[in-house]
Amino acid sequence: MSTAVSSSRAIGLIAKREFTVQVMKKSFVISNVIILAVIIGGIIAYSIFSGGDDEDRDVVGIVGDQSIASVISATGDTVGNPVEIREISDAGAARSDVESGDVAVALVPGDAGAYTAITDSELTGALRAVVEGSVSSQATDAALAEQGVDRASLAEAAANAVVTVEAIDPPDPEAGQRVALSLAAVFILYAQIIGFGMYVAMGVVEEKSSRVVELLLSTVKPLQLLWGKIIGIGAVGILQLALYGAAGVGAGLATGTLTVTGTALSVFAGTLGWFVLGFAFFAVLYAAGGSMVSRQEDVNSTTMPLLLLIMAMFFAAFYSVGDPESTLSNVLSWIPPFSAVMMPLRIAAGVAPIYQIVGTALIMAATTAGLAVIAAKIYQRSILRIGKTVTWKEAFAR
């Protein structure tokens, strides 16, 4: 029992040392302050300059009697093309406003309820439907009034005559935000796993090349040093990821850029959880790769296969962003380490059932545990070998 406690304490001390060294670096603090400022500032700028409803509305000018204004506004809202109404003094001013682009169309009243629509070129699309429908509706109301028909009674009688749309596959109004969250999760995981995996490898080779590792191994075991380094650097990665996620989600919700609160929070939590699993999977391999070389310049030679695997994962994820329910996305979600990026993507898209989230996480954890045993043996065999680079073939063969 005392050995276990001693081992835990040793790993904890090493992890604390690695965490402190990383977060106390001036470059780490400055870079993260800048990135956080860019994230928050970018979201605020997007919310300001992306435009509101008023900027998207067509402006309809009306000359003279403004009684049709309310009809046009109501018709525009009904057909999903809201318009802004502007009163114009006369036909000459109407032409000037159309020529200058101040209004999209100007209506000049004629005889018997007719109107002349002045436009720059032609009146088409939804705006034409709004104008023609409004003129027709006003003329109908006027004719009914002349016949003594009570409009209120007519409206009450026709109130139940509505069309109810029953869509078999209704569109997701939040699909755009889900895609944006998917892309953000995939990109952040890509950068974090590569970045902090390299931190592990560079830290291992730095200690090895400076012979510091020999001093450390005189008091702690190789596996304690390995896991302490992975846990410490992994904690830094989680802290950084949490800061980025909190800043992005918080700014998005505060500015109204994000409205899918539940989805945003689930993506945030899922990204953190899958970073832990993905980082652990690759960190043990990066540590093994770092232990196989004696110079930092040689790290890329042993970690290149890991980089290629990570790139394959994320190319597959980006390919699946447009169709997260595809067979490829579903199958890769069950295969480590692809599940580390495919599952956050599917969670963001809202297509990941609970059993799949739990099942893939358990498979990923079990695979990482088995891989850690192999990587730890490579680390033990290679960490004290100075000089010639140990190849992966030699590392596995020993």
pLDDT at 158: 74
pLDDT in tens, 118-128: 888 788 788 88
Inter-residue contact 255 to 300 (CB < 8 Å): no
Boundary of a domain, candidates 154, 188, 216: 154
Residue, of 7 and 304, whose pLDDT is higher: 304
pLDDT at 252: 86
Residue 283 has pLDDT above 60, yes or no: yes
pLDDT in tens, 315-329: 998 888 888 888 999
Give the integer Cα–Cα distance in Å for 30 and 51: 32
Give the integer Cα–Cα distance in Å for 104 and 122: 10
Cis peptide bond N-terminal to 337, omega within 30: yes
- Mark whether 39 and 71 lie in a shared domain: no
Q: In which domain, by residue range, is 75 found? A: 57-154
- Mark whether 102 and 18 lie in a shared domain: no
Strands 58-63 and 83-88: parallel
Cα radius of gyration (the chain): 32
Quickly count: other Cβ atoms within 10 Å of residue 395's Cβ.
21
Residue 196 has pLDDT above 60, yes or no: yes
Write out the H or E segment, with its range, that includes residue 78: helix 69-78
- Is the sign of the CA dihedral 169, 170, 174, 179 positive or negative? positive
- Mark whether 89 and 236 lie in a shared domain: no
Inter-residue contact 381 to 395 (CB < 8 Å): yes
Map tokens 């996305």 to a residue.
329
Kindly state whether residue 289 falls inside one of the protein's structural domains. Answer: yes
- Mark whether 110 and 254 lie in a shared domain: no
pLDDT at 4: 46
Write out the H or E segment, with its range, that includes residue 107: strand 105-109
Boundary of a domain, candidates 97, 123, 154: 154
In this prediction, residue 396 has a pLDDT band, given cuts at 50, 70 and 90, of low
The residues facing 87 across adjacent strands are 62
pLDDT in tens, 330-355: 999 999 999 998 998 888 888 889 99
Boundary of a domain, candidates 120, 154, 188: 154
Kindly state whether residue 120 falls inside one of the protein's structural domains. Answer: yes
Instruction: Provide the mean pLDDT of the chain.
Output: 83
pLDDT at 75: 85
Counting the structural domains of the chain, the total is 2
pLDDT in tens, 128-169: 888 888 888 888 877 877 777 776 777 777 777 777 777 776
Strands 105-109 and 115-119: antiparallel
pLDDT at 398: 58
Residue 77 belongs to a domain with what CATH number? 3.40.190.10
Inter-residue contact 298 to 212 (CB < 8 Å): no
Sequence-distant (≥ 6) Cβ neighbours of residue 281 within 8 angstroms: 336, 337, 340, 364, 367, 368, 371
pLDDT at 56: 64
Residue 69 Rama label (left phi>0; alpha psi -120 to 50; beta) = alpha
- Mark whether 16 and 71 lie in a shared domain: no
- Mark whether 127 and 188 lie in a shared domain: no
Residue 259 has pLDDT above 80, yes or no: no
- Mark whether 216 and 344 lie in a shared domain: yes
Kindly state whether residue 162 falls inside one of the protein's structural domains. Answer: no
- Mark whether 122 and 32 lie in a shared domain: no
- Mark whether 198 and 346 lie in a shared domain: yes
The residues facing 85 across adjacent strands are 60
- Mark whether 252 and 377 lie in a shared domain: yes
Kindly state whether residue 164 falls inside one of the protein's structural domains. Answer: no
Kindly state whether residue 160 falls inside one of the protein's structural domains. Answer: no
What percent of the chain has a predicted confidence (pLDDT) above 70? 92
Crossing angle of the two packed helices 125-146 and 69-78, in degrees rounded to 10:
130
Kindly state whether residue 1 falls inside one of the protein's structural domains. Answer: no
Kindly state whether residue 277 falls inside one of the protein's structural domains. Answer: yes
pLDDT at 3: 46
Residue 5 has pLDDT above 60, yes or no: no
pLDDT in tens, 23-68: 998 988 999 999 999 989 988 988 887 654 445 678 888 888 888 8
Give the integer Cα–Cα distance in Å for 211 and 294: 10
- Mark whether 131 and 215 lie in a shared domain: no
If you count them, how many residues does the chain have?
A: 398
pLDDT at 397: 65
Kindly state whether residue 67 falls inside one of the protein's structural domains. Answer: yes
- Mark whether 240 and 212 lie in a shared domain: yes
